[in-house]
Amino acid sequence: THKIILDTDPGIDDAMAIFFAFQHPEIEVLGLTTVFGNVPVTMSARNALTLCELAGEDIPVTQGVGMPWVGPESGYAHFVHGDDGFGNTFPEASKRELDPRSSAQFIVDMARQYPGEITLVAIGPLGNLALALRLEPELPKLIKGVSIMGGAAFVPGNVTPVAEANIWNDAHAAAIVFAADWKVTMFGLDVTLKTPFTPAFLDELEARNDKLGGFVKKVSQFYVDFYSANRDERVCFFHDSFPLAHLVHPEYFAITSGHARVGTGELDRGQTVIAPAGSTPSPLWNEANMVDVAVDVDHEKLEQLFISTYA
């Protein structure tokens, strides 16, 4: 089994990913570490507890970074995820309690407890991972790998022409995470936007699992409305589930790699720039970390995987 910490800002597609991780027999979730992003961090943390309660999972949930590494709060994605992060369905809040540690401290503690065994799966902005690197400079040696939903390598962004939301929300933190001495695999808009999911697919999830699939379908109405506003068909995207699907089925994905840097300037804020090995003579690039970038996935196999995992 894969031991993971899931770093998240729930969030509708975060809920989809969290349930997938809970349901998959080869994934062991050591805890949910929350961060600001789609919603303020206090709401992220409450929402994560609510999802654990719904799924009957008794694992630690921590509250983490509530602000970008540099600069003011940049606003939340309520227009995508609703006022409550759950598509304005306002599910009953859990009365469970948070683990008192910060998300970054929890990451460090677990990494020390299970050296070399944990994959950090980050599906929100990267402040907790950046802070954990500051708390424990040896963290990269203790972690097996880092898989993130974020970035847009060879396609346009979804916040600016060049930046995807998770990276844009905390670009300086992302730059730290991409530059650290560990293996980053990036599941950005290059791959997540290639595979639209239909309302019929959400119906299928509900049919397979009334409780969790039913919840996903219910909270997704608002999310589908958002994604369908400028399209002819009704669809939505499962962004945050991709790194988890890759963990259990890497053979479904096409991956390329390159030297990666994250922009922190005004125009390039949050841009993930990938230079294929040897393509640029500049030291700025050649010395930058190599990251793996997912660029395609077998859509049918992915659908089957989601459906069978929810069953």
Best CA proximity match to 27, nearest among 57, 4, 7: 4
CB closer to ligand BDR out of 49 and 80: 80
Instruction: Confirm or reject binding of residue 64 to Ca ion (CB under 5 A).
Output: no
CB closer to Ca ion out of 124 and 258: 124
Q: Which residue number places its CB atom closest to ligand BDR?
A: 165
The nearest distance, CB 299 to ligand BDR, in angstroms, is 18
Cα–Cα dist 209/279, whole Å: 48
Best CA proximity match to 13, nearest among 159, 142, 295, 205: 205
The nearest distance, CB 37 to ligand BDR, in angstroms, is 6
Name the catalytic one among 172, 239, 246, 259: 239
Q: Which does 158 bind (CB under 5 to 8 A by kind): ligand BDR, Ca ion, none?
A: ligand BDR
Residues numbered 227-246 forming contacts with Ca ion, rule: CB under 5 A: 240
The nearest distance, CB 242 to Ca ion, in angstroms, is 11
CB closer to ligand BDR out of 159 and 207: 159
Instruction: Confirm or reject binding of residue 129 to Ca ion (CB under 5 A).
Output: no
Residue 159 near residue 168, CB atoms below 8 Å: yes
The nearest distance, CB 240 to Ca ion, in angstroms, is 5
The neighbouring-strand residues paired with 27 are 2
The verdict on whether 239 is a catalytic residue reads yes
CB closer to Ca ion out of 189 and 288: 189
What is the DSSP code string of 162-221? Answer: SB-HHHHHTHHHHHHHHHSSS-EEEE-HHHHTT--B-HHHHHHHHHH-TTHHHHHHHHHH
> 220: left (phi > 0), else alpha (psi -120 to 50), else beta?
alpha
Cα–Cα dist 20/110, whole Å: 21
Site for Ca ion (CB under 5 A): which residue of 15, 39, 123, 167? 123
Site for Ca ion (CB under 5 A): which residue of 5, 6, 7, 11? 11
CB closer to ligand BDR out of 30 and 77: 77
What is the DSSP code string of 15-55? Answer: HHHHHHHHH-TTEEEEEEEE-SSSS-HHHHHHHHHHHHHHH
Q: Which does 164 bind (CB under 5 to 8 A by kind): ligand BDR, Ca ion, none?
A: ligand BDR
The nearest distance, CB 152 to ligand BDR, in angstroms, is 9
- First and final CA of the chain: distance in angstroms? 19
Residues found near ligand BDR in the complex (CB under 6 A): 11, 13-14, 38, 77, 80, 123-124, 149, 158, 164-166, 239-240
Pairing of strands 272-275, 184-187: unpaired
Mind telling me the catalytic residues? 239
